[in-house]
Amino acid sequence: MTSWERIREAGGGFVVTVWVGLGAIVVLFVVSAVLQRDADTSEVCVSTAAVRVPDTGCTGHRPGDTWVYYRAGSFVPAVGGSTAGASSAAPAGIAVPGTPEAGGLATPGS
């Protein structure tokens, strides 16, 4: 048995472990990306001063107002509350309008 064969035989278990570990990491990243893409997101209207305003006629009646997004499980402020922590980037999945004006947790279908 050559020295290379001995090294390969001795390190074989390590190599398999590394490949299995890398495969598991790749699977976790793919699953995470799919879950984030398909996550329900609540959308609310925000003024230029980063304060939540009523959703009715958001971008049509009040110049400068825009939509911001909250992932399911995040706290959504009531009308008049600060929208700090919201994302201005539209989600890849579905954004659900109609979050109660009293605020609360963003839930799927809220």
Q: Which residues contact 14 (CB under 8 A, 6 or more apart)?
A: none
Residue 76 contacts residue 44 (beta carbons within 8 Å):
yes
pLDDT tens for 66-82 read: 999 888 788 889 999 99
Do both 4 and 50 map to the same domain?
no
Residues 91 and 54 in one domain: yes
Tens of pLDDT, residue by residue over 20-44, are 667 778 877 666 656 555 557 888 8
pTM above 0.75, yes or no: no
For residue 71, which of 35, 45, 47, 22 has the smallest C-alpha distance?
A: 35
Residue 110 lies in a domain: no
Please list the residues that pair with 71 across neighbouring strands.
Answer: 41
Give the residue numbers spanning the domain of 27: 1-37
